[in-house]
Amino acid sequence: MVTTEIEPGRERPGLLSRLVGWWGPRPFIQLAVFVAVVALFWLLGANVADTMRRIGVTPGFGFLERSANFEIGESVIAFKAGDLYIWAILAGLINTVKVAVLGCVLATVLGVALGVAGLSGNLLLATLVRWYVELIRNTPLLLQLFFWIALAKSFPPPRQALSAFDALFLSNRGVFLPGIIVDGFSGRTLLLLVAIALSCGLYLYAVYRRRRLRFGTGLAATLVLLAAAGAAFPVTGATLSLDMPMLGGFNIRGGYSLTPEFAALLAGLTVKFSAAIAEIVRAGIQSVSRGQWEAARALGLHPGQIMRLVVLPQALRVITPLITSSYLDLTKDSSLAVAIGYPDLVSIINTTANTTGQSFEALAILIGIYLALNLSVSALMNVYNRRVALRGDGSR
């Protein structure tokens, strides 16, 4: 006798029925809403195109290939009046990325320091940190930026610049810091540096996989990495030298200079988000229950180990998503640069819209870039959260 096994529910539904299932109840009302929304946008778009034609502007992205007759105050890539609009927008985007990345790094450093200071157990320090956080959190970022730019513009002229240790100069022409000059940098140097970094990274990863990573190992590896990188320069004939800013004539020469606008924006973003990050760090560490501390102490771990092995891994699960959304907020808020004259993406887009009349396309580019940035970071965040959740609690 032959028996055929029939497994219930083995038959998978077809594509169409899955689509219908996804679309859900009341299909026609939904379709009507959908059509209405599309029609609304169609109508608005047609109106925009009409108005543009009436004022003599051709809709479309052709303007990107025309030359832009404005200067950009500062830019990482070389840009001068007469270059194409697309390069102007790229210069603005790079300026935005520059201030956002530096802002994220500095805000994290300051924020973590403040968060730890707030939890240090010292009453005076904790009170001071709490007032700092309240003060910064409860006033608008734009107001703080106005304050910073007024401050940056009120520094004395270069000849009387305020200086600290003859390395840092504050003047109304900008902030000057010591820079590093690399001479004779060649492909061989780069290759050697990459090789050193890779081998160190691989070694650390191998140690990490065997769960033998200790603080001492990490420190030693970092030192070896730095020493090897330092040795790589003379071996391949490149030189590193420190470039100190110096007062010469009526201006300060040398070193690494920040324009007043950039310095003000960076200071404003760093301070504003350091307060947010300090709060996140505090909340994250406090979210680990006291029992965990007590249990770790009962096991004989000393405070440093408790923090590193027990508290931080759990706190990071709370901290990471919040800090990421802080980073995204910082990137979005860097758009306030337009109010203090730093040529970021929004500022360039605004100038482009005003000089070409193609405000619709220009704003579409702006929103598209920010959206792509946000969605990609959120996607990465979701991957991270899933990993942490899996490793953290497989039972649920």
Partner 1 sequence: MSLVDIASLPLMRRSFDWKPLWNGLFGTRLNTALTGLTLAFLVWLVPPLARWLVLDATWTGTAQDCAAASGACWAFVTAKLRFILFAFYPQDLQWRPAAALLLLLSLLVVTAQPRFWRRELLIAWLLVIGLCWALLTGTLTGSPVSSNQWGGLPVTLLVWSVCFGLSIPLAVLLALARRSKMGGLRTLAVLFIELMRGTPMVAILYVAMLILPMAIPGGQFVDKTVRAILMITLFWSAYVAEVVRGGLQTIPHGQEEAAKALGLGYWRTMQLIVLPQALRQVIPGMVNLAIGFLLATSLLAVIGIFDLLNAARASTTDPKWLGFYDEAYLVAGVIYFLFCFGGSRYSRWLETRLRAPHH
**CA dist list (Å): 362 to 69, 100, 337, 367:** 16, 21, 17, 9
Per-residue x/- marks for partner 1, 85-124, CB under 8 A? Answer: -----------------------------------xxxxx
The closest of 89, 48, 91 to 66, measured between CA atoms, is 89
DSSP single-letter state for residue 393: -
Per-residue x/- marks for partner 1, 127-146, CB under 8 A? Answer: -x-----xx-xxxxxxx--x
Place of tokens 């988000």: 273
Binding part of the chain for partner 1, among 64-72, 74-82, 242-250, 342-350 by CB under 8 A, reads 342-350
Distance in angstroms (rounded) separating the CA atoms of residues 84 and 80: 9
Task: Give the tokens for residue 229.
Answer: 């990188």
Burial string for 87-116 (b: 16+ CB within 10 Å, else e) reads bbbbbbbbbbbbbbebbbebbbebbbebbe
- What is the footprint of partner 1 within residues 209-248 (CB under 8 A)? none
CB 326 within 8 A of CB 280: yes
Of the candidates 203, 360, 381, 384, which one interacts with partner 1 according to CB under 8 A?
360
Q: Is 348 in the site for partner 1 (CB under 8 A)?
A: no
Distance in angstroms (rounded) separating the CA atoms of residues 62 and 96: 24
**C-beta neighbour count of 341 within 10 angstroms:** 15
Q: Which is nearer to partner 1, 161 or 365 (CB)?
A: 365
Size of the site for partner 1 (CB under 8 A): 57
Q: Is 371 in the site for partner 1 (CB under 8 A)?
A: yes
- What is the footprint of partner 1 within residues 33-92 (CB under 8 A)? 33-34, 37, 44-45, 47-48, 51-52
Of the candidates 202, 219, 246, 367, which one interacts with partner 1 according to CB under 8 A?
367
Q: Which helix (H) or strand (E) holds 352?
A: helix 345-356
Q: Which is nearer to partner 1, 168 or 363 (CB)?
A: 363
* Interface contacts to partner 1, rule CB under 8 A: 22-27, 30-31, 33-34, 37, 44-45, 47-48, 51-52, 120-125, 128, 134-135, 137-143, 146-147, 150, 154, 332-333, 335-336, 338-339, 346, 349-350, 353, 359-360, 363, 366-367, 370-371, 373-375
